[in-house]
């Protein structure tokens, strides 16, 4: 999939049961293939924006949306498969017991043809440098390896937009570098647009 552009015009989202909008009046343009580091204080709405771009905020019963938010040529709410989201907790993103099955899970949910899934899995694991074998137990992976596993799962879906929400927050210094390098190598290889929410500015700023 080709790199996706991002466009926001007056976009806002208020979570159900909240009096104030988490994000409001946002105007934003991100070019295809651009790499963006999104900074701000805790509670500023960074994660809400990433979830909006990934199309996982929900419907009217989950909150109130206003303005326009698009990924590529479609509303972000319908960006399933166009945007891939990786969160900060490595353990919460592991779905299945074996590495290969876990990476394949997202592709299966998207309805990717069976004969195409496993080549994608192999390519994604190579892209993040996680060479432990398809049968390797996910429970035996380190925190950094689990985060690379989550990244591989997102890459296997061939997203035009890769969204990372504090992907190194729970990692030790070696794991931080491991995941950062895997991300940079992956977007260099795929050309995907990248948006990273992170407080470790020095880790990402040069990229």
Among the listed residues 44, 10, 9, 39, the one whose alpha carbon sits nearest the alpha carbon of residue 24: 10
3-state SS, residue 64: strand
Residues 6+ apart with CB under 8 A from 168: 88, 147, 175, 176, 179, 180, 198, 200, 203
Q: Is residue 84 part of a domain?
A: yes
* Number of domains forming the structure of the chain: 1
Contact 18/176 with Cβ under 8 angstroms?
no
d(CA 198, CA 177): 13
Q: Is residue 138 part of a domain?
A: yes
pLDDT tens string, the chain, 207 residues long: the values are 689 999 999 999 999 999 999 999 999 999 999 999 999 998 899 999 999 999 999 888 899 999 999 999 899 988 778 999 998 888 888 999 999 999 999 999 999 999 999 999 999 998 888 989 999 999 999 989 999 999 999 999 999 999 999 988 888 888 888 889 988 988 998 899 999 999 889 999 999
Q: CATH no. for residue 51?
A: 3.40.50.300
Q: Is residue 1 part of a domain?
A: no
| 92 CB-side CA count, 13 A | 7
């Amino acid at each position: 999939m080709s790199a996706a552009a991002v466009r926001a015009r007056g976009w806002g989202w208020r979570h159900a049961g909240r009096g104030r909008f988490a994000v409001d009046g946002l105007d934003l343009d991100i070019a295809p293939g651009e790499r963006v580091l999104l900074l701000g204080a805790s509670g500023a709405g960074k994660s809400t924006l990433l979830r909006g771009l990934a199309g996982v905020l929900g419907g009217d019963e989950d909150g109130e949306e206003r303005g326009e938010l698009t990924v590529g040529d479609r509303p972000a709410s319908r960006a399933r498969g166009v945007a891939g989201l990786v969160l900060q907790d490595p353990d919460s993103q592991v779905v299945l017991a074996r590495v290969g099955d876990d990476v394949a899970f997202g592709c299966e949910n998207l309805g990717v043809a069976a004969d195409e899934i496993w080549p994608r899995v192999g390519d994604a694991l190579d892209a993040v440098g996680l060479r432990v074998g398809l049968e390797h137990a996910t429970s035996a992976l380190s925190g950094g390896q689990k985060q690379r596993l989550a990244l591989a799962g997102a890459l296997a879906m061939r997203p035009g937009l890769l969204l990372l929400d504090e992907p190194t927050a729970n990692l030790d210094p070696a794991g931080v570098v491991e995941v950062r390098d895997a991300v940079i190598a992956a977007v260099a290889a795929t050309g995907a647009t990248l948006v990273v929410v992170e407080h470790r500015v020095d880790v990402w700023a040069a990229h």
